[in-house]
Amino acid sequence: MAGTGDIAGGTVDLFVIGGGINGCGIARDAAGRGLSVALAEMGDLAQATSSGSTKLFHGGLRYLEYFEFRLVREALVEREVLLRAMPHISWPMRFVLPFHKDMRFDSETPTSKLLGVAMPWMRGRRPSWLIRLGLFLYDNLGGRKILPGTRTLDLAGTPEGAPLQERFQHAYEYSDCWVEDSRLVVLNARDAEARGARIMTRTKVVSARREGEGWTVTTEGASGRQTHRARMLVNAAGPWVGEVIHGTIGLNSAEGVRLVRGSHIVTRRLYNHDKSYFLQGTDGRIIFAIPYEGEFTLIGTTDAEHHDPSAKPECTPEERDYLLSFANQYFRRQLTAEDVVWSYSGVRPLYDDGAQSATAATRDYTLKVDAHGAPVLNVFGGKITTYRRLAEHALEKIAAHLPGRSGPWTAGAPLPGGDFPVDGVPALVASLRAEHPFLTEPWARRLVRAYGTEAARILAGAKSAADLGRDFGATLTEAEVVWLMDREYAVRAEDVVWRRSKLGLRLEPARIAALDAWMQAREAGTKAAE
């Protein structure tokens, strides 16, 4: 369904600032309800927070200790809704939570404080019955239908126990889901555009001012400076939400954002099975160790204050060493800095609720409308798992100012390429290889995991690898790059190898540079032909 306004030259219903998961999710939902939508992202889609997550659709088991039951329940329900909508980029994953009776935890969570008062002899401990109670709630709060429930593991002589130190003899195993976070953002943007939205990447909003009953928005991008008119503004700028409020828009608002950096490290594969580990630290924090891209293990995340949204988040040596030390408390193989092949960080723009620590700050989202004149919706916080519900709640608030539109629709709507069953990946891989016998199984699986049913369109007519054009290495071909440039907003090599995929882990710098040069030449040629 196309939007009702003339996006190119007239007034749109909604102008969204920010091309992360919240901005793209809101744009998609709004366009599907018949609103005319424009979205501006100053960099690449998912360039900041939305590509720096731990890449999980999860309820947030540890948030139960903060009594965030509403957030956890909503996230648990959403896991399976999202799994059905995007079975190519999301899939079930089992998590192993090792337990040892002598483990101690110095935590300031509400649960720990309550336990310290009611059972002072338990102070500093997270006993097994408490963990099991939390997992019981985790299994039952969200009406689980697809994902299997919790079970108890005897680790002796098992694949799950083999990588762990001998002192760990027992564990719990529960379910959550993996998601390709950057691709999730791109697919939401593509679907929004297919429904009439205008998606403008590498386009910065330099000012937005109320004029009459609407907004005049000025942007700066490849096409120069442009002016747009909108009835309502959505500030989904992520880490820059505060700067947009006080600078770009010029509002006098007391609402604040708390920036919390989460860093991750990637090592060579630590173990040979496909399950993840949920590891509890003596400081009350937790980290995950997750199978990653076939040959690697992802370890994270940290919680550190990040004061400047313009400062690129990077995993500091201290954060790296913290994660290594944390993992070394559990695994037989002792990791050092030399084992780290890559690291990345993301900044979570949390609503400033006055919590004493970054770890304790709420992960729930907050939506605030300023209607002193033309309305603006400011989006604080949120988890990638609840992005779709955040968008629905945002549209509820928007409806008060732009009424007469249709209601919620995204719960049963697949994202591009996701129109197949949750367990349908093996069949798609087999079909792709039957049609294109030159594909290896890993190559075909990578394409299906990235593009789902659309992988066949990328390979259409190819009888050999040569038919796909230039080989950039690591199974990345010209045909795929052209698809990413023409349909998925990719402009530079880093967009392709670090956000649309993680092939940067397998490509040498010289190959990435050659890819970038090829993409720039193609872009220049395309513009010259227009």
Report the range of poorest mean pLDDT among 10-24, 224-238, 246-260: 246-260
* Same domain flag for 368 and 250: yes
For the cut 60, the answer to whether the pLDDT of residue 222 exceeds it is yes
* Cα distance between residue 269 and residue 142, in whole Å: 32
pLDDT band at 102 (very low <50, low <70, confident <90, very high): low
What letter would DSSP give residue 356?
Answer: S
- For residue 117 the two structure tokens come to 């008062």
* Same domain flag for 172 and 27: no
Question: What pLDDT sits at residue 118?
Answer: 65
CATH number at residue 223: 3.50.50.60
Q: Kindly state the helix (H) or strand (E) to which residue 511 belongs, with its residue range.
A: helix 509-529
- State mean pLDDT over 110-119: 65
pLDDT in tens, 365-376: 899 999 999 999
How many other CB atoms are found less than 10 A from the CB of residue 482? Answer: 17
For the cut 70, the answer to whether the pLDDT of residue 202 exceeds it is yes
For the cut 80, the answer to whether the pLDDT of residue 530 exceeds it is no
pLDDT band at 4 (very low <50, low <70, confident <90, very high): very low
pLDDT band at 234 (very low <50, low <70, confident <90, very high): very high
End-of-domain residue from the set 347, 377, 412: 347
Within a domain: residue 393?
yes
* Same domain flag for 109 and 172: yes
- State mean pLDDT over 437-453: 98
Question: What pLDDT sits at residue 163?
Answer: 98
Report the range of poorest mean pLDDT among 15-29, 134-148, 386-400, 500-514: 134-148
| Range of 119-123, 407-411, 524-528 with top mean pLDDT | 407-411
Query: What is the per-residue DSSP string for 383-448?
Result: -GGGHHHHHHHHHHHHHTTS-S-----GGGPPPTT--S-TT-HHHHHHHHHHH-TT--HHHHHHHH
- For residue 33 the two structure tokens come to 């309800």
Question: What pLDDT sits at residue 3?
Answer: 38
**In one letter, which amino acid is 290?**
I
pLDDT band at 5 (very low <50, low <70, confident <90, very high): very low
- For residue 161 the two structure tokens come to 């126990």
Within a domain: residue 192?
yes
Average pLDDT of the chain? Answer: 91
Query: What is the per-residue DSSP string for 116-173?
Result: HHH-GGGTT---HHHHHHHHHHHHHTTT-SSS---EEEE-TTSTTTTTB-TT--EEEE
Question: What pLDDT sits at residue 67?
Answer: 75
- For residue 403 the two structure tokens come to 């009424």
Question: What pLDDT sits at residue 133?
Answer: 84
* Same domain flag for 223 and 163: no
* Same domain flag for 133 and 155: yes
Question: What pLDDT sits at residue 48?
Answer: 92
Dihedral (CA of 269, 271, 275, 278) sign: negative
For the cut 80, the answer to whether the pLDDT of residue 377 exceeds it is yes
CB-CB contact of 421 with 87 (8 Å): yes
pLDDT band at 527 (very low <50, low <70, confident <90, very high): confident
- The three-state DSSP-derived secondary structure of 160-172 is CCCCECCCCCEEE
For the cut 80, the answer to whether the pLDDT of residue 352 exceeds it is no
Domain residues for the domain of 390 are: 12-49+182-256+362-400
* Same domain flag for 209 and 232: yes
pLDDT band at 353 (very low <50, low <70, confident <90, very high): low
CATH number at residue 295: 3.30.9.10
- State mean pLDDT over 64-68: 75
Within a domain: residue 65?
no
The better pLDDT of the pair 454, 308 is held by 454
pLDDT band at 7 (very low <50, low <70, confident <90, very high): very low
Question: CB within 8 A of 338, min separation 6: which ones?
Answer: none
Question: CB within 8 A of 224, min separation 6: which ones?
Answer: none
Beta 276-280 vs 90-99: how paired, if at all?
Answer: parallel
**364: number of CA atoms within 13 Å, CB side?**
17
| Range of 213-227, 242-256, 475-489 with top mean pLDDT | 475-489
For the cut 60, the answer to whether the pLDDT of residue 241 exceeds it is yes
* Same domain flag for 517 and 434: yes
Determine what percent of the chain is predicted with pLDDT higher than 70. Answer: 91
pLDDT in tens, 21-44: 999 999 999 999 999 999 999 999
The number of domains in the chain is 3
End-of-domain residue from the set 347, 375, 410: 347
Within a domain: residue 135?
yes
Within a domain: residue 385?
yes
* Same domain flag for 315 and 328: yes
The closest alpha carbon to 333, from 266, 287, 267, 264, belongs to 267
* Same domain flag for 318 and 304: yes
* Cα distance between residue 355 and residue 395, in whole Å: 28
- State mean pLDDT over 332-339: 98
CATH number at residue 437: 1.10.8.870
β-pair partners for 230? 12, 215
Question: What pLDDT sits at residue 8?
Answer: 43
* Same domain flag for 202 and 312: no
Within a domain: residue 409?
no
* Same domain flag for 39 and 158: no
Within a domain: residue 464?
yes
pLDDT band at 383 (very low <50, low <70, confident <90, very high): confident
CB-CB contact of 231 with 213 (8 Å): yes
pLDDT band at 6 (very low <50, low <70, confident <90, very high): very low
Rg of the chain, C-alpha, whole Å: 23
Within a domain: residue 408?
no
Q: Kindly state the helix (H) or strand (E) to which residue 77 belongs, with its residue range.
A: helix 69-85
pLDDT in tens, 284-293: 788 999 999 9
The better pLDDT of the pair 225, 355 is held by 225
* Same domain flag for 385 and 246: yes
**In one letter, which amino acid is 270?**
L
- State mean pLDDT over 154-165: 97
